Structure 1
Amino acid sequence: MTKILIVRTSSLGDLVHMLPAISDIARHVPDAHIDWIVEESFAEVPSWHPAVREVIPIAHRRWRKSWWAPQTRKERAALRRNLGARRYDIVLDMQALMKSVWLVRQTHGERHGLDRRSAREPLASLFYDVRHTVEFWQPAVIRQRTLAASVFGYQYEGEPDFGLQRFTADAQIQPCAVIMPSASRDDKLWPAENWHAVFDRLAQHGLQLQLLAGNEREAERARQLIAGRSAAEVLPRMSLESVARVLASARIMVGLDSGLTHLSAGLGRPTIGIYKASTPVRTPLQGSSYTASLGERGAEPSAETVLSAVEQALAHETARVPRLAGLDDVDG
């Protein structure tokens, strides 16, 4: 048995990008026993992959708000004891940040990570036993797959396998379009009139609109966007697992650059991502169905560009799964 500890704590999109590397490791290291350290709010994600044996949750985001509080110190001490009692053959830091190094230093095993030219925070590379070179400006999924392959001495091949079969195996595609129009930062938002154009086109295809929102502020904005539309709803707050099941059964997903948009692509659904405050060069959508990563930092895509991608996505899926043709009810 090869005992492996993966250190990748957040965020949602980054964890989704990690999943194909886990599939590669499981395929090329057949006796692998994989544990994964992750932020508590995203602990569901590693558990979805069948090759992950144990998820070790941490609460760094919560702890840093009151680092020296008695309860925080108690929880950090419990984590230190937990990690200290384990022995791994390989400890692989897939994050290469000082906050992940803090965790790596509490582990026992050969510590692997990126070298200083490859890491976002070069100082982190000083704390690894073995350092690996991975070109920085390439898609995140490729970077993670390349790093894992370098650590375990194999060459990966084929399209990325996100290991999300628990959602995709029995998913029944519904005549709905999932929309993610909200973001944590206002500079990521897309104009309401553009969303309305997209909603109109999706409605022409007979698709019910299901809007996602992470908090009440986002929910209120979503309600304003669909005001007066009968075939549209703002979904209630749900667990990540419930959201994943909604995404897995959607005909199409259109969203801002967010973790949920990347999850939709990983689930193999036709997905269109709208980039405005970030670049898709390093984090494009990747999945087994049609994806479009539109826009660039400081240059949002036009409504016409997104509408063209919507038509391509629906046509691609209809051609791939002919029975979906009956779901369309295109006017004129």
Structure 2
Amino acid sequence: MSTKILIVRTSSLGDLVHMLPAISDIAAQIPDAQIDWVVEESFAQIPLWHPAVNNVITVAHRRWRKNWWSAQSRAERAALKKRIQETQYDLVLDMQALLKTVWITRMARGVKHGLDWKSAREPLASLLFDVKHRVEFWQPAITRQRLLASLAFNYQYTGSPDYGLQAISNSVQVEPVAMIMPSASRDDKLWPVASWHKVFDYVQSQGLGLRLLAGSPAETQRAEQLIAGRTNAEVLPRMGLTEVAHELAKATVMIGLDSGLTHLSAALERPTIGIYKASTPVRTPLVSSAYVASLGERGIEPTADMVLSAVQQALNQS
């Protein structure tokens, strides 16, 4: 008989990437684990990348909240409940401890584990878990996830984080390109144009092409303006997450703002430089077996020279 486990971690991109090492730990410690994962529909590809994940169950919070009481939303939530309750789980682990996830956790059949009152970002959610665990909030995100999983399953994790993404990394050849992520979810995370140009000049002087990632039309326009007049530089078209992951895995180096895709690059074991400006790397540093640098701090952006120094180190080690 397999050990049936339900993981509830619905978003966001960076947080889901940080979750992957905990999945590797569980699979290593519980060889017969059958791991199902509840995730936001727009990120459903991410759990599928990990070989230890059995089933992916999608939710649509972002879509439902626009029309919560519509017939379609109610029908989809009823279908979700039926899908989750098809399986009797040995353990249900809510890795977010938010009010938006705990109602999903409560649907499931099995012993519910999560963060305790002092550890959860939304403490009220902790009241609905059967078993509560203390995980200090100040620790880096990957450490928190690995520790919570180890407490729920009663093991001690060891070693460097394993994201389980070798199938993607091993499927491509590294190319002489620098992948650039100049956009972020908030404008206060953006880095000055002059600083980008200084980094681009150096990267291209080293014989690397530039490939810029963009999602929305506004991001595409900004990226195109950043490379205007440059040869061997392009803005990639909008792609699915799996396609983006393969592009990141090809890069000689990746330079990006603090975004989920920058963390994904590090998870794919590519040399990665993260530029922090409106957030702190203390809680969400880049973690990888490859060279990584998490530069800047909330309210203090890194200078172009700081980023250039890190790029030089990354290229010297690649």
TM superposition score category, shorter chain reference: over 0.9
Q: What pairs with 1:42-81 in structure 2 (closer than 5 Å)?
A: 42-81=43-82
> Which residue type is aligned with residue 235 of structure 2?
V
Question: Partner of 2:304 in structure 1?
Answer: 303
Question: Partner of 2:24 in structure 1?
Answer: 23
Q: Tell whether 2:219 aligns with 1:218.
A: yes
Q: Tell whether 2:140 aligns with 1:139.
A: yes
Partners of 1:162 and 1:240 in 2: CA distance: 16
Question: Partner of 1:186 in structure 2?
Answer: 187
Query: Which segments of 5 or more consecutive residues in structure 1 lack a partner in the other structure?
Result: 318-332
Partners of 2:241 and 2:64 in 1: CA distance: 22
Deviation of residue 288 (structure 1)?
1.3
Deviation of residue 153 (structure 1)?
1.1
Partners of 1:6 and 1:182 in 2: CA distance: 30
Partners of 1:181 and 1:170 in 2: CA distance: 26
Identity within the alignment, %: 67
Q: What pairs with 1:1-332 in structure 2 (closer than 5 Å)?
A: 1-317=2-318
Q: Aligned with 1:214: secondary structure?
A: coil
Deviations 1:222-246 (A, max 9, x none): 0000000011000001110000000
Deviation of residue 171 (structure 1)?
2.2
Deviations 1:174-205 (A, max 9, x none): 00000000112110100000000010010011
Deviation of residue 220 (structure 1)?
0.2
Partners of 1:113 and 1:184 in 2: CA distance: 28
Partners of 1:142 and 1:31 in 2: CA distance: 24
Q: Aligned with 2:89: secondary structure?
A: coil
Partners of 2:299 and 2:126 in 1: CA distance: 32
C-alpha root-mean-square deviation of aligned residues, in Å? 0.7
Aligned residues: 317
Q: Aligned with 1:109: secondary structure?
A: strand
Partners of 1:85 and 1:138 in 2: CA distance: 36
> Which residue type is aligned with residue 311 of structure 1?
Q
Partners of 2:152 and 2:187 in 1: CA distance: 39
> Which residue type is aligned with residue 207 of structure 2?
G
Deviation of residue 169 (structure 1)?
1.7
Query: Which segments of 5 or more consecutive residues in structure 2 lack a partner in the other structure?
Result: none
Deviation of residue 85 (structure 1)?
2.3
Question: Partner of 1:325 in structure 2?
Answer: none
Partners of 2:139 and 2:302 in 1: CA distance: 21
Deviations 1:198-226 (A, max 9, x none): 10010011000000001110000000000
After TM superposition, the score normalised by the length of structure 2 is 0.99
> Which residue type is aligned with residue 303 of structure 2?
S
After TM superposition, the score normalised by the length of structure 1 is 0.95
Partners of 1:38 and 1:192 in 2: CA distance: 35
Partners of 1:208 and 1:214 in 2: CA distance: 20
> Which residue type is aligned with residue 195 of structure 2?
N
Question: Partner of 1:323 in structure 2?
Answer: none
Deviations 1:48-71 (A, max 9, x none): 000000000111110001000111
Deviation of residue 102 (structure 1)?
1.3
Partners of 1:204 and 1:30 in 2: CA distance: 49
Q: Aligned with 2:179: secondary structure?
A: strand
Deviation of residue 265 (structure 1)?
0.2
